[in-house]
Amino acid sequence: MDSQLLELYHKQAKMIYFYLKKNGCSHEDAEDIVQESYMKYITYSSGVSSDKALSYIFSISMNEFKKILKKKGKEQVVSINDDRFWNNFENDDDTESSVLRIEMNHEILHTLNQLQEVYKQLLLIKYELELSYKEIGLLLGMKEETIRTYLFRARKEFQMKWRNLHE
């Protein structure tokens, strides 16, 4: 059991950490949440089947993050390509294209924030973390086909809201 848990931790802890960071969690809070989630899993693992371990840990992480946001009285903030954006900004001689990228990121965030929470999370996991349908299914404890369906609906809803924004 210990080697399985250690393997699971090494594979998935970074992914959960980066997902929390993408959702606006601070470095310290993200590390604490990941550690706390694995500690809770260890405590209650007898009631969780091994194939559902990752989704259980991910759910704990999301709940802990929401508790922290509620405690601090903050809203969830999604960040898109922060490091890549600032690197481009520093190296870019064309100010106009930099400003356009800022506006585009702002419009994307605005559109994402209009989506249902499930759709927003799925789009972020798929396109920011670049996970496969199978990996997302394992992470969320859902069937791969369900993930495909939800992502299809999420993309359609995003497209509709994007068009409405630009008409």
Residues 99 and 49 in one domain: no
- 41 and 108 both lie in a single domain: no
What integer pLDDT is reported at residue 22 of this predicted model? 78
Q: Please name which of 50, 65, 53, 56 lies closest in space to residue 18, comparing C-alpha atoms.
A: 65
Cβ within 8 Å of residue 139, ≥6 positions away: 12, 15, 54, 55, 58, 125, 131
Mean pLDDT of the chain: 79
14/120 Cα distance (integer angstroms): 20
Q: Are residues 65 and 91 in the same domain?
A: no
pLDDT, position 7 = 72
The span from the first CA to the last CA of the chain, in angstroms, equals 56
Residue 134: Cβ-neighbour burial (10 angstroms; 0-12, 13-18, 19+): exposed
Question: Cβ–Cβ contacts within 10 Å for residue 94, how many?
Answer: 8
pLDDT higher at 121 or 98: 121
d(CA 137, CA 109): 24
One domain, residues 7 and 61: yes
Share of the chain above pLDDT 70, in %: 80
Task: Look up the pTM and report it.
Answer: 0.59
Query: Which CATH number is 108's domain given?
Result: 1.10.10.10
Report the pLDDT averaged over residues 98-106.
73
Grade residue 12 by pLDDT with cuts at 50, 70 and 90: confident
Inter-axis angle of helices 133-140 and 53-72, to 10 degrees?
A: 70
- How many domains does one find in the chain? 2
pLDDT exceeds cutoff 80 at 144: yes
In the predicted model, what is the mean pLDDT of residues 147-155? 94
Same domain, 7 and 42: yes
pLDDT at 155: 93
Q: Show the domain range for 38.
A: 2-72
DSSP 8-class letter at 81: S
Give 28 or 44, the one with higher predicted confidence: 28
d(CA 98, CA 102): 6
Name which residue leads in pLDDT, 150 or 113.
150
Find, among 65, 74, 66, the residue nearest to 30 by Cα.
65
**Of 74, 72, 79, nearest to 21 (Cα)?**
79
The whole-number pLDDT of residue 89 equals 47
**The domain boundary residue, chosen from 51, 72, 93:** 72
Shared-domain flag, residues 130 and 109:
yes
Same structural domain for residues 59 and 121?
Answer: no
Task: Give the number of other CB atoms < 10 A from CB of residue 66.
Answer: 12
What is the mean predicted confidence (pLDDT) over 38-52?
78
pLDDT for residue 69:
81
Residue type, 103: E
Among 72, 94, 115, the domain boundary falls at 72
- Which domain-ending residue is among 48, 72, 96? 72
Same domain, 43 and 18: yes
Claim to verify: residue 113 and residue 48 sit in the same structural domain:
no
Segment 67-96, tens digit of pLDDT: 888 887 765 555 555 555 455 545 545 566
